[in-house]
Amino acid sequence: MSPDSPTTILRSIFGFPQFRGLQEEAVRHVIAGGDALVLMPTGGGKSLCYQVPALCRRGTAIVISPLIALMDDQVAALRQLGVSAAALHSECDPMAARETAAALARDGLDLLYVSPERLLGGLIERLEARRIALFAIDEAHCVSQWGHDFRPEYRALACLAARFPGVPRIALTATADQRTRADILASLAMPEARTFVASFHRPNLFLAARPKERPRAQLAALLARHQDASGIVYCGSRARTEQVAARLGADGVPAVVFHAGLARAEKEAALRRFRAGEAVVMVATIAFGMGIDRPDVRFVAHLDMPDSPEAYYQQIGRAGRDGEPAEALLLYGIEDIARARHFLARSQAPQSQIPALRARLETMIGLAETGSCRTQTLLACFDERLEGPCGHCDNCLAPRPALDATVPAQQLLSAVYRTGQRFGLRHVVAVLRGEASEAVRRHGHDRLALFAIGRERSAEFWHSVGRAMIAAGALVMGEGYATLALDAGVARPYLRGERIVRIHAPTQAAPAGLAPAGLAPAGLAPAGLALAPARSKGEGALFERLRAWRKQTADAQNLPPYLIFHDVTLHEIATLKPATLAALAQVRGVGAAKLQRYGKALLAALSPG
């Protein structure tokens, strides 16, 4: 493609009238030959930061990506824009791979997507004879040993500096704290790279966390708020994904399973269904998600707690990429905390990394338990300060007062000790509340002096105290996570009342219908949540007609519908009702190639006849 100005490329190819935030500054820096590290939230427009320079500089841009699904989506999207793009990976059809190699040899590609293994496994020698526009290292947190998706092969990309002197490199990620950023730059040998850090704040994303008490009912309430919408449910194990998906299917919810243990054909079928644009719930382990571009995911639920804020942010970032309101719900329990600590204690990670991994886990526990603005707490993990509460999280919407639980903590620790340190939290709480269950009577715990000492407090309150003591390390869980015991050294000052314990009022005090604006009962709308504009009945009907046209068009090309046009573009078309190709060309997201390819059909779909 002929070199052109970045703003011209942005308008004519991508159909956007102007850059957002730091995009233009990063784009111009790379076009001028500078190295860059770009940190932008999911949906923040990272791809444009290398795609526009790729079309402005001479030669082929090499994009290094960790996932085949991501590569294929990006290539398909660029081809829709009239850009010459291709991918080389292990699942390429042999004939297509030969055609890509031939196009590369004649300098006929604008962008080539490859995995690090493919690049370093022989392709790099062929590239040395070609004109290379730039190298883009996507999902760059994979480079760092401190990142949550560390991939050792990524670190070998440091050789690009010496083998391709003068070729700019741009590393991009949605999640990296200060330590990870420094490690990315050092690992890629990019000491002079300029860092561009956009805000990680997602105003359209509603954050909530709940103790895991009735997870099936809690998930059902979330799904009821998002009927006929797509979403992702993350589980901590492969077996759990199967169980949850089976239950959802039995309840009439269209659910698909994805985890690393599936056969290749099963994974491909699950991805095809999710990408097809239908309303479906993907029940998955963390093996699913990185590089998934579907923009209209309306919710992400965690049925088990992630082990770091970085992993949590990356996963919830898959919701609301189109800028419309979306919801992220975290369900967590004492078993999650115990399991994560158990795995960390047996981790094969280098001992030098264990303190940082432990700190991240404890920060994640604090994020789940916080009674403060959840968005402020999350952004602080990425060294970003949000002035004032966000207004779009559960704690902002229904603040929970802090309670002094110093004495109850003493009582609970004493109850654990007096019952022999061989029972779970439910049993201990039953003793404190004076519940003479069969197990309590059988073990004679109804005769203890502290039996019923906390009868005036709810079970939810005592469970909050128990989680606080587990989070503090005063209580540890046994193998199988079914029993509680004291860590004598940590528990002693709490038992003596030498440490103040504060908890937040149980979340049950919050309104039952807590949810983002537009999804919750009247009066519960968080003021800071970016809402979708009000649309008339006629606009809604026209939008659905456009969606039907898009689905038919996408099916004919075996493409996900969002690669034709995003919902945001269809909404704008339904609102503006352009009557000519010139008017349609002014709609955001309608570039020259799409105008030529779909313009007449779109105008026909708009007409009432």
205-397 adopts what CATH topology?
A: Rossmann fold (3.40.50)
Mean of pLDDT values over 186-214: 93
The per-residue pLDDT for range 60-113, each reduced to its tens digit, is: 999 999 888 788 889 999 999 999 999 998 888 889 889 999 999 999 999 999
In order of 199, 215, 374, 420, 491, the CA distances from 424 in angstroms are 42, 19, 29, 11, 17
Q: Determine what percent of the chain is predicted with pLDDT higher than 70.
A: 91
Q: Determine what percent of the chain is predicted with pLDDT higher than 90.
A: 64
pLDDT beyond 80 at 393: yes
402-506 — its CATH code?
1.10.10.10
pLDDT of residue 523: 30
The per-residue pLDDT for range 445-481, each reduced to its tens digit, is: 999 999 999 999 999 899 999 988 988 889 988 766 6
In order of 335, 540, 553, 601, the CA distances from 606 in angstroms are 54, 12, 15, 9
**What band does 291 get if pLDDT is binned at 50, 70 and 90?**
low
**C-alpha 540 chain-centroid distance:** 29
In order of 275, 367, 386, 547, the CA distances from 570 in angstroms are 18, 37, 33, 7
Angle at 100 between CA 98 and CA 101, to 5 degrees: 65
Domain with CATH 1.10.10.10 in the chain: 402-506
**What band does 530 get if pLDDT is binned at 50, 70 and 90?**
very low
pLDDT of residue 507: 60
| One-letter amino acid of 407 | V
Domain with CATH 3.40.50.300 in the chain: 6-197, 205-397
> Which residues are paired to 540 by β-bridges?
none
Burial of 40 (0-12, 13-18, 19+ CB in 10 A): buried
Assign residue 12 a region (left: φ > 0; alpha: ψ between -120 and 50; beta: otherwise): alpha
> Which residues are paired to 36 by β-bridges?
170, 194
**What band does 517 get if pLDDT is binned at 50, 70 and 90?**
very low
pLDDT of residue 572: 93
Distance CA 552, CA 558 (A): 10
**E strand or H helix at 456, and its extent?**
none
**Length of the chain measured in residues:** 609
6-197 — its CATH code?
3.40.50.300
Give the tokens for residue 162.
């010496």
φ and ψ at residue 470, rounded to 5 degrees: -70, -45
Question: Which CATH homologous superfamily contains domain 537-606?
Answer: HRDC domain (1.10.150.80)
String of DSSP letters for 23-36: HHHHHHHHHTT--E
pLDDT of residue 2: 45
Distance CA 295, CA 324 (A): 9
Contacts of 248 (CB under 8 A, 6+ apart): 223, 255, 281, 283
How high is the mean pLDDT of the chain? 88
Three-state DSSP at 111 gives strand
In order of 69, 397, 602, the CA distances from 550 in angstroms are 21, 37, 9
10 Å Cβ neighbour count for 172? 22
Distance CA 390, CA 403 (A): 23
pLDDT of residue 171: 96
Residue whose C-alpha is closest to residue 439's, from 461, 454, 422? 422
**E strand or H helix at 113, and its extent?**
strand 111-114
pLDDT of residue 67: 81
